[in-house]
Chain A
Amino acid sequence: MSGDGLFSALSALVDQGAGLLVGTSDADRVPRATRGWGVRCDEAGTVRVVVSADDPLVVANLTGSIAVTGAEIRTLSSAQLKGRVVDVVEPDPIDREVADRQTTSFFDAVVATDGDELEMLRRLVPTRMLTVLIDVTDGFDQTPGPSAGAVLEDVR
């Protein structure tokens, strides 16, 4: 399963300005969180997530299960995709363009909604990024409220 159907639930949020979170774990099941900076679905239907490579423990964890959550800044509507890492590569030009655009949307939404200064937000941008190719298997509604955790249907 490539996950492009489930991806649509996440991309709808990201287009509105969403924060991306990435969850990983090591061989001992110790979890490690980091931030994502861009997400797209390529022509082959593979979900590609641009993640921070500043944390070596996160980079070391990019071999097994992975979770990617997008939370729309204005409404907190959220979705989480889960799957397995199939490859880790340097971001290609499209990844970089998508990451730039989605980061801008994310920061614009935070500035407009929460009043943070753009210069301060830019401090969060990592110095190095990697693209993680993911075979998405599941999707969940993560919006705060009684429906949090509900399974998202693959709409393909």
Chain B
Amino acid sequence: MTTVHPSDADSVTPLTLDDLTRCYEGAIPAVVCTADADGVPNVTYISRVHQVDRDRIAISNQFMSKTSRNLAVNPTASLLLIDPVNHEEFHLLARYERTERRGPVFERLRDDVDELAEQMGLRDVFRLRAADIFRVRSITRVGRTYGDDPTDPPARTLDALADFVERVDRVGDLDALVDVVIDGLDRILGYRHASLMLLDETGTRLYNIASCGFGAQNVGAEIELGAGPIGLALAQCEVRRTTGLRQLAKYSRTVQRSFEADGARSAGTIPLPTLTDADVRIVVPIRSLGQLVGGIVVEHRAAGALVRDDERILSVVATAVGSAFELARELGEPDPGGADGEPRPAPTPRVASGTTSSGTVASSATAGQVAAIRFFETDGSVFVDGAYLIKGVAGRILRTLVSEHAATGRDEFTNRELRLDASLDLPGFKDNLESRLILLKRRLDERDAPFRIRKTGRGRFRIEVRQPMHLEVVGDVAAH
């Protein structure tokens, strides 16, 4: 066992706080031991130790009332940290210096607590009280030296990043861009679990447009901007890498137990694609002209698999995607001088509130089982054979298209005529229609729905009805 001081350059094995970087990821809880005025020790787990500078560490002060009382009378602490990759263990002897309730260190620690609070849904009651700062007097290795583990993640190369950006730069179509981004994250950059989210037309919600590595893509899953760990990071427009997710989740479940409701999920929602056992996550905002337009989320099960370099790589990725996204959206609009810009007559009128209408569609598809389609006026949600499909603007678009097809047999549509349809409740500025159509198209494909959308030209598309349908439109008073 060797004991060295953090700044001792003459030491044979000069362990410094910088050598313990992986220990601060929170993948394995640390241990803190203090003693009271009589020398009676108190020992407990803490979720994480943060490095402040080359000589100092910080720990968040949440429920450690005894630890705090001990430090007030005896400002020395003993800590145990484990490297999550090679499981080498280190002992730190530290002297408590001060408690901070504001400032950059406090803000860094608050991210952890905010993540927990968001996981627990206790944002207003679970807050970081203080950050306790310690000066480390000695670092001791406990046990043997094992060195780095061969399972360290391969470094992502600049060549791969250049390849990704080049591919994104060549795409002028939004739907194709979504495919290129997800495929590139997965196969070129090696982010096996990734999702691409877009901000909706109201600027208050984000919806998942595509994902990889989560089993189901869960296209159309939504989160509120500012809610939950992902929504919070994107609302703050910050790149955020969160480590030790498994420990955070466990800790939050323990604290939350007394607050838990039944946890039942509403029938009309799509869960966000995530790894249930992820240990690290990076959330990166996608901006265009300085405005948030979406986000990229990548996760990994292994502690240390996503490091700080990945934050930088994904920032470059998000910048490229943001520019390409804006360009693709512009190109997706109909040519103002072309025939595709001609508006069609207004689609089928909506049923009045509080009423229900139904009928069987004599669609172009005459064979096959009749699919039961229910549209709910209240929130635009659509169910196919009892299974939730989509809601909101995308649901209303679908209702318009299917109703029009049922009434007239028409299957060719333009973006422009949808914009003129007041029943869709599109905002007049930045209506996000192109993105919503892509969302709808991808959701229909994912769910193997009885109708599909195919792009036929700039600002034009076709609906393909693959089996007979029975349509039912339920008014506002109906519950589902």
Contacts and interface: CB of A to CB of B under 8 A. Distances in A.
A33 B43 contact: yes
B42 interface: yes
B344 interface: no
A21 interface: yes
B310 to A, nearest CB: 20
Q: Is the interface of B mostly helix, strand, loop or mixed?
A: mixed
A30 B41 contact: no
Nearest to A74: B250
Contacts of B253: 75
A128 B93 CA distance: 22
Nearest to B47: A144
Interface in B142-156: 142-144, 146
Contacts of A26: 39
A132 to B, nearest CB: 13
Interface residues of B, number: 52
Interface residues of A, number: 50
B76 A30 contact: yes
B79 interface: yes
Interface in A12-32: 19, 21-27, 29-32
Contacts, number: 144
A124 B89 contact: yes
B37 A123 contact: no
A82 B40 contact: yes
Interface in B103-162: 140, 142-144, 146
A69 interface: yes
Contact of A56 (B1, B31, B255): B1
B65 interface: yes
Given A55-B91, A77-B254, A123-B88, A23 B42 contact: yes
A55 B142 contact: yes
Which interface residue of A78, A142, A145, A146 has the most chain B CB atoms within 10 A?
A: A145
A153 interface: no
Interface of A: 19, 21-27, 29-35, 54-56, 64-69, 71, 74-78, 80, 82, 113-116, 120-121, 123-124, 126-127, 140, 142-146, 148-149
Across the A-B interface, give the 5 residue pairs with the lowest CB-CB distance, nearest first. Answer: A23-B43, A23-B41, A33-B33, A25-B35, A23-B33
5 contacts: A25-B40, A56-B1, A68-B43, A76-B254, A149-B66
